[in-house]
Every structure is written in C-alpha cells, then in structure tokens.
A = this chain, B = another copy of it.
C-alpha cells in the first residue's frame, strides 16, 4: 500500500490511514452552518457540498499539503432527513458536489457522521501530508519580501451580491419564501466563483516543494483580514498596491480587498525568488510588499493614486 493512503474507510469505529515517516500530517476542520456559511434556500445542494469541501482543501493548499482523506459530519433538519424523496434529492445533490470536487483532487471521503439537527450543519475534516519541514506557515514573512496572490479576487463576493439580488427579486414574486432559488442559466458563469470556488492545491504543492514562499495563507475571510493574520503571525506589516490587485471581472475593489471565500492563496516570497507568472495554469500576481512593523503604525497600508492609506481588516461576515 502506498504511503498516505486510506487502509480502512467508512464502517468501523475509526478510519485507518498510513503515512510515510518522511511526511508530516496536516489536519484542518471547518464548520459550515445554514444561515451563516450558506443558505439552504439560496445555494444549490451541490454548491453547498462543493463549498464545504473547498474550505477544507483550501486550508491544505495554504500549508502546501497534498490531500489524503476527508471526513464529513453532517447534521440535517428532519425535513431533509425524513421525507425520503426530498432527502435523497438534497443529500444526493450535496454529495455529488462534494464528491466531484474530491475526485478532482483524488481525495477519498473516508468517514463521517450523520445526525438529525434543527439546523443544517456540515463539518469537514481534511487530512493532508507534507514532507517534513516543508509546510507553508503563516509566520515566516520577512521585511523586504514581496506579496503575491493566485487567481483573481472579489469574484465570490460579487457572486454572493448577485445571489442576494436574485433572492430579493424572488421574494417580490408570489412564491413561497421557503422555495429554493432557481439560478438562471445566464448567470451561472458569474456565480461560479461563489458557488464552486477552486482550492489551489496544485499551487500550494508547487510552492512548498520549491520552498519558494516564506509564508502563506488562503483567502477565506477576505484579503484585508487574511493578510492581517499573516502579518501578525510573522510580526511584520503589509502594503498592497491598489493598482496591482487582480480584481475579478464584475467585482469592485472593495470586494477584492475585503470579500471572503475566494480561496486564493496569498503568499510572501523573497524579492530574489523567481516567482513565475502562473503556477499550474493559474495566474500569480505581485500585489505588494512586506514591511517592518514600527510600533504605532498601521499593520496594513494601501498604496493608491491618492497616496498611502491605512487598510482596515474588514473581512466579509456572511449573513451575520
């Protein structure tokens, strides 16, 4: 049996995995709750499944780890559990979205738990493996390093805004409020970054295998919030060039700065590092630099056409 594989999956008291001793184990858990991280009436079931897994995979990507196994704990309201047909339809949709993404990253669903719950909750656990000492941490950025992001920013927040607009429109028509949104085919592309974000596993592996990044994090709460996490962990300050931001088409600058759930990678690398313009097909953009942190100065700044402004962390709080 190859290292890092699942020996025993669903059906015993625990799953059993094997790992090479040359590797470290990366573990992450992410709890998604109806009304907070998704909405049963807004998000198609397969998008909820996809997004649940994407959150966990993105944490592995941010460590430069390869996924080994996923575990899912699902709590569902009796309306989805008891009505045999609706249950099948909803759970099937959820699992189709989750398994499709899992298969594209060759990660087996190795176990989990299902229970009835007054509110829909999904907790995802991802186990990954990374060669010893190669994990990308948040804490290694040095003054003088440059800051990079993968892909584009703000697409998920823009998609969520669009989803909200569809929901408001639907509420103005005489249709029961509980009815689930049907997404018009013409809007699917615009909603894709929100509904089906792509965790950057290949890019994280590329960075960790080349020891190219001094620090990394995934953008789950928004660039301004996640950059602050990285800077605090590294005891440095960060500066973003507003003009350099790879803003997703249709998104605003504010959405690119503060919108969460893009699941792109944010990383720091020495100025001498030869960071390519794209990794595994995804563009990499230099968006700023790491500065020393003099006391009393803002943690984050934004370089704009009007000069340098302090940049507040205003991470997106969904449905709060």
Contact = CB atoms under 8 A, between A and B. Distances in A.
Nearest to A126: B14
Contacts of A17: 24-25, 27
Given A71-B125, A233-B11, A111 B28 contact: yes
Nearest to A320: B116
A241 interface: no
A258 B15 CA distance: 26
A153 interface: no
Chain A interface mostly? strand
Contact of A36 (B16, B111, B117): B117
B31 A75 contact: yes
Contacts of A130: 16
A268 interface: no
B16 A135 contact: yes
Which of A29, A34, A132: most chain B CB closer than 10 A? A29
A112 interface: yes
A127 interface: yes
A312 interface: no
Which of A16, A19, A20, A33: most chain B CB closer than 10 A? A16
Contact of A21 (B19, B29, B128, B137): B19
A63 interface: yes
Q: Say how many copies of this protein the assembly contains.
A: 2
Given A14-B59, A14-B128, A35-B118, A25 B29 contact: no
Contact of A27 (B15, B233, B320): B15
B71 A29 contact: yes
Nearest to A77: B119
A30 B113 contact: yes
Nearest to A217: B13
Contacts of A188: none
Contacts of A63: 12-14, 16
Interface string A87-129: 0000000000000000000000011110111110101011110
A200 to B, nearest CB: 12
A118 B118 contact: yes
Interface string A216-245: 111000000000000001000000000000
A69 interface: yes
Nearest to A11: B233
A125 B28 CA distance: 10
A140 to B, nearest CB: 11
B27 A13 contact: no
Interface of A: 3, 7-8, 11-21, 24-31, 33-37, 59-60, 62-63, 65, 69, 71-75, 110-113, 115-119, 121, 123, 125-128, 130, 132, 135, 137-139, 216-218, 233, 320
